[in-house]
Amino acid sequence: MGSLTRVSKSLKSSKYLSLLQNSSKFNSFSSIFGGNPFFGRLNSYRIGLSQAFCSNSRQNSTENGIDLNQYPPERIRNFSIIAHIDHGKSTIADRLLELTGTIKRGRGQPQYLDKLQVERERGITVKAQTATMFHRYNFRGADKDHKQEEPSFLLNLIDTPGHVDFSYEVSRSLAACQGALLVVDAAQGVQAQTVANFYLAFESNLAIIPVINKIDQPTADPDLVKAQLKSMFDLDPDDALLTSAKTGLGLEKVLPAVIERIPPPPGMSSSPLRMLLLDSYYDEYKGVICHVAVVDGVLRKGDKISSVATGQAYEVLDVGIMHPELTPTGVLLTGQVGYVVSGMRSTKEARVGDTLHHSRSVVEALPGFKPVKHMVFSGLFPADGSDFEALNNAIERLACNDASVSVAKESSTALGLGFRCGFLGLLHMDVFHQRLEQEYGAHVISTIPTVPYIFEYADGSKIQVQNPAALPSNPKQRLVASWEPTVIATIIIPSEYVGPIITLCSERRGEQLEYTFIDSQRVFMKYRLPLREIVVDFYNELKSITSGYASFDYEDSEYQQSDLVKLDILLNGQPVDAMATIVHNLKAQRVGREQVEKLKKFIDRQMFEIIIQAAIGSKVIARETISAMRKNVLAKCYGGDVTRKKKLLEKQKEGKKRMKRVGSVDIPQEAFHELLKVS
Ligand SMILES: Nc1nc2c(ncn2[C@@H]2O[C@H](COP(=O)(O)OP(=O)(O)OP(=O)(O)O)[C@@H](O)[C@H]2O)c(=O)[nH]1
């Protein structure tokens, strides 16, 4: 128990405690997305309700048999499902969609809201998905004998991704919600992303409903999980719902809890329209489809709306809800979440976090979101150089449906014309790559991922380097200092793995910041680590040395000064720009050696000798040679004329020299892929 008290002290950081104790300070913790737009007005919703209901009831908004007039804010609940990866969010979403009759039981595919092929293949959620459900329910204490009078509620459920790379999706989703189901696996207990997601929800002032899922598992220990929730987050164990999304056990308690414990959205129907743009994607037939949350006012088909960010005006061509597919309603009322089609030509016009309003009125912008921070950059090049236009097209179209990727053109002497793209992490990069191939048929070579470094020259000027090739190997000006980005990593592991994890983190240049027991068997650790060290293969190694029991999450932190060098790879003396990396000086030797060895394995023997070198500036630190294929020029030379044989061999040697001089080395695609795995 002593350990529990310790962790509760350390985890409930001063930030959390002061939030608990002094709600007036809430505003100073405008969350990651710059403050929930509903935030701070939760208490005012009752005043707004009667006005909302009166004014809404005058609108004619019946389309598709759905009359949104029945749903003033007091009958709306907006909530997210958040959890560590694989704790069962999407499966719970399935059960809730079935319970409310939104999808037919057993008819839909499992994890219905995971629609992308890449999500289905990998069994992970990549994009947050909203679904509107309708559910009849009588508040506790209401007259149960009058079942026919049970009021109907409109429930907007947002299923979110669990992986750390997509936590930006989670924070955006939470901006449209007043509550969250915090799902925890009954056997695994609280994991790293449970902690991260709890704080995201808490700092957005959301009502949090703990759900302990997978109680059907033989190793489930709901009481232990309840104790963890209490000690780590101060959540009342009696508030936890016990469920099995697999068998359906306990699921019937979830929607009543949502309706009773989550406040309705607090907006004012009588105020001018303000909508928060949550997300957008491009549809071949409808054009740009924006997901929006109506914070104040009412939106109708045919309205003229404008963007605060760009000042551009549009006409609303279609408006509706996701039920769970796009379902036109002709109107969206205060507090509702839905979609809008307004003739935007490109998703570039639909800026996530923007405020949309009626063109005729002037409004104050909603807080919006913190800009996306790209953690890793990589070059993407067509596998066949002549396919540049096709790749250009594919990237443009995919980027329309993935607002968190950045794209800039780049050219490489080795790989030709291509793109430098910024991603939220390695999984995001991998998913983008896979979607390019699967959805757009593009074949891509990606270069070694890099993080954004900062270098300072002797004259005091600084450059940010997102592409190692852009850093001159022999700069005119002396480089005097360099900085690299760091992260604060959270690791939760069974206590027997503490030793190997400490070794791994110190090998990766980590600095331990916190170490606490969250219960008698598990340890919570915090490390500051250079981002570069976790980008390549850290998670896999962490999983393998803990037999899969470690969980890991990180948030970006400040830059730290570091002794960085540019490592060039040379083939026959020519630097291959696409293979350049920036590494810590102490690791340069090892990385250089590994890279040349990898390349030796993957580059085929050619008609001339290939020398592979790793170099820092003009200093070669590793070298391998691939000997030339020796063509048997004597094959047709029967008998013993030695001088003729000698002549032929001389000629062959000359030929090889020429080829070395003029020939270019063929580097197979796998060589680039293999280099990605070298840290
Ligand atoms: N035994 C058992 N398995 C479950 C339960 N709920 C979900 N699962 C399984 O757990 C796995 C992960 O479930 P998902 O619903 O995809 O988990 P998720 O949290 O949405 O995963 P991400 O979106 O990748 O973070 C799937 O194989 C589910 O079938 C449950 O209550 N009991």
Query: What confidence tens digit (pLDDT) does each residue in 201-221 have?
Result: 999 999 999 999 999 999 999
The alpha-carbon radius of gyration of the chain (Å, integer) is: 29
Tell me what the mean pLDDT of segment 483-496 comes to. 94
Task: Give, in degrees to the nearest 5, the angle at Cα 493 between 490 and 497.
Answer: 125
Any ligand 1 atom below 6 A from CB of 111: yes
Q: Where in the chain is the domain with CATH 3.30.70.870?
A: 376-449
pLDDT at 49 over 70: no
Whether 388 and 317 have beta carbons less than 8 Å apart is answered as: no
Judge if the beta carbon of residue 91 lies within 6 A of ligand 1.
Answer: yes
- The predicted pLDDT at position 676 comes to 61
Lookup: tokens for 364: 């104050």
| C-alpha of residue 245 to centroid of ligand 1, in Å | 8
Q: Of ligand 1's atoms, which has the minimum distance to the CA of residue 243? A: 31
Is the beta carbon of 70 within 6 A of some atom in ligand 1? no
Query: For residues 414 and 382, what is the distance between their CA atoms, to the nearest angstrom?
Result: 12
pLDDT beyond 80 at 56: no
274-358: which CATH number, 1.10.600.10, 3.40.50.970, 2.70.180.20, 2.40.30.10? 2.40.30.10
Q: How confident is the model at residue 638 (pLDDT cuts 50, 70, 90)?
A: low
* Distance from residue 134's CA to the centre of ligand 1 (Å): 24
Q: For 376-449, CATH number?
A: 3.30.70.870
Tell me how far the alpha carbon of residue 500 lies from the centroid of ligand 1, in angstroms.
29
Assess whether pLDDT exceeds 90 at residue 64: no
Specify the range with the lowest mean pLDDT, choosing from 354-358, 394-398, 554-558, 587-591.
394-398
- Please report the pLDDT score of residue 127 as a whole number: 73
- Residue 482 token pair: 């360099």
For the 73-139+150-261 domain, the top CATH level (class) is: alpha beta
Per-residue pLDDT at 61 exceeds 60? no
How many angstroms does the Cα of residue 306 sit away from the middle of ligand 1? 41
Q: How far apart are CA 113 and CA 530, in angstroms?
A: 35
pLDDT band at 304 (very low <50, low <70, confident <90, very high): very high
Q: What is the mean pLDDT of residues 292-299?
A: 95
Q: How many angstroms separate the CA atoms of 367 and 4, rounded? A: 37
Place of tokens 């996306």: 372
Task: Indicate whether residue 161 lines ligand 1 (CB < 6 A).
Answer: yes
Rounded mean pLDDT, 18-27: 33
Q: How many CA atoms lie within 13 A of 542 on its CB side?
A: 22
- Whether the per-residue pLDDT at 531 is higher than 90: the answer is yes
- In this predicted structure, the answer to whether residue 630 has a pLDDT above a threshold of 60 is yes
State percent of the chain over pLDDT 70. 80
ipTM: 0.98
Q: Quick check: CB of 188 below 6 Å from ligand 1?
A: no
86 CB less than 6 Å from ligand 1? yes
List the residue whose alpha carbon is closest to atom 13 of ligand 1: 88
Distance, in Å, from the CA atom of 487 to the CA atom of 557, rounded to the nearest integer, reads 5
Distance between Cα 344 and ligand 1 center (Å) = 37
Confidence of residue 60 (pLDDT cuts 50, 70, 90): very low
268: amino acid identity, one letter: M
Question: What pLDDT was estimated at residue 62?
Answer: 54
> Residue 619 — φ and ψ, nearest 5°?
-95, 120
- Ligand 1 centroid distance, CA of 526 (Å): 27
Q: Distance, CA 92 to ligand 1 centroid (Å)? A: 8
Identity of the highest mean pLDDT range in 53-67, 152-166, 498-512, 603-617: 498-512
Q: Please return the burial class of 59, using the count of CB atoms within 10 Å of its CB with bins 0-12, 13-18 and 19+.
A: middle
Confidence of residue 236 (pLDDT cuts 50, 70, 90): very high
Q: What pLDDT, on the 0 to 100 scale, is given for residue 37?
A: 41
Question: How far is it, in rounded angstroms, from Cα 555 to Cα 100?
Answer: 36
CA end-to-end distance (rounded Å), the chain: 41
Ligand 1 atom nearest 214 alpha carbon: 31
How far, in Å, is the centroid of ligand 1 from the Cα of 90?
7
The CATH 3.40.50.300 portion of the chain extends over 73-139+150-261
pLDDT confidence band for 18 (50 / 70 / 90): very low
- CATH fold, domain 565-677, is Alpha-Beta Plaits (3.30.70)
Rama region for 407: left / alpha / beta (φ>0; ψ in -120 to 50; rest): beta
CA–centroid distance, 546 to ligand 1, in Å, is 21
DSSP category for residue 599: H
Pocket-testing residue among 90, 120, 215, ligand 1, by greatest number of atoms within 8 A of Cβ: 90
Ligand 1, closest atom to CA 91? 15
Q: Which atom of ligand 1 is nearest to the CA of 125?
A: 23
Q: Does the beta carbon of 88 sit less than 6 angstroms from any atom of ligand 1? A: yes
To the question of whether residue 162 is assigned a binding role by annotation, the answer is: yes
**Higher pLDDT residue, 295 or 572?**
295
Please report the pLDDT score of residue 442 as a whole number: 87
What lies within 8 Å, CB to CB, of 284 at 6+ separation is none
Q: Write the residue with the smallest CA distance to atom 9 of ligand 1.
A: 88
Least confident of 59-68, 159-168, 388-397, 409-418: 59-68
Cα separation, 389 vs 385, whole angstroms = 10
Name which of 173-182, 546-555, 633-642 the model is least confident about.
633-642
- The pair of structure tokens assigned to 72 is 């003033």
Beta partners for residue 319, in sequence order = 340
Rounded Cα distance between 491 and 488, Å, is 10
pLDDT at 514: 95
Residue 23 identity: S
Q: Which of 588, 610, 609 is nearest to 599 (CA)?
A: 610
Q: Which atom of ligand 1 is nearest to the CA of 87?
A: 19
- CB-ligand 1 contact for 124 (6 Å cutoff): yes
Residues listed for the chain: 679
Helices (H), 219-321: 222-233, 254-261
Assess whether pLDDT exceeds 80 at residue 364: yes
Helix residue spans in 189-291 (DSSP H): 192-203, 222-233, 254-261
Q: For residue 217, which atom of ligand 1 is closest to its CA?
A: 1
CATH 3.30.70.240 placement within the chain:
454-562
pLDDT in tens, 149-178: 678 899 999 988 877 788 778 888 898 899
Selection from 147, 160, 198 nearest residue 19 by Cα: 198
Rounded Cα–Cα distance for residues 402 and 281 (Å): 7
Q: For residue 282, what are the CA distances in angstroms to 131, 171, 350? A: 19, 22, 10
Strand-pair partners of 212: 184, 242
In this structure, the residue with its CA closest to atom 2 of ligand 1 is 214
The number of CA neighbours under 13 Å toward the Cβ of 322 is 22
Exposure b/e, 514-547, CB count within 10 A at least 16 = b: eebbbbeebbbbbbbbbbbbbbbebbebbeebbe
pLDDT of 639 above 70? no
User: Quick one: average pLDDT of 472-488?
Assistant: 85
CATH of domain 454-562: 3.30.70.240
Over residues 92-117, the pLDDT tens digits come to: 998 999 999 888 776 556 666 666 67
Nearest-angstrom CA–CA distance, 664 and 608:
10
Averaged pLDDT, 449-453: 92
8 Å CB contact between 340 and 307: no
664 confidence band (pLDDT: 50, 70, 90): low
Q: What is the pLDDT of residue 518?
A: 87
Cβ 542 vs Cβ 565: under 8 Å: no
CATH 3.30.70.2570 residue ranges for the chain: 565-677
Structure tokens at 447: 């270069």
The residue whose CA is least distant from atom 7 of ligand 1 is 88
pLDDT at 58 over 70: no
Q: Which two tokens stand for residue 254?
A: 């979830």
Q: What is the pLDDT of residue 465?
A: 93
Q: Is the pLDDT of residue 427 over 60?
A: yes
What is the arithmetic mean of pLDDT over 655-671? 53
**Known binder of ligand: residue 358?**
no
Whether 2 shows a pLDDT value over 50: the answer reads no
| Shortest-distance atom of ligand 1 to CA 244 | 31
Cα 185 to middle of ligand 1, angstroms: 9
Whole-angstrom CA distances from 29 to 19, 39, 45, 295 are 8, 11, 21, 20
- Which of 411, 335, 416, 428 is CA-nearest to residue 78? 335
The more confidently predicted of residues 324 and 148 is 324
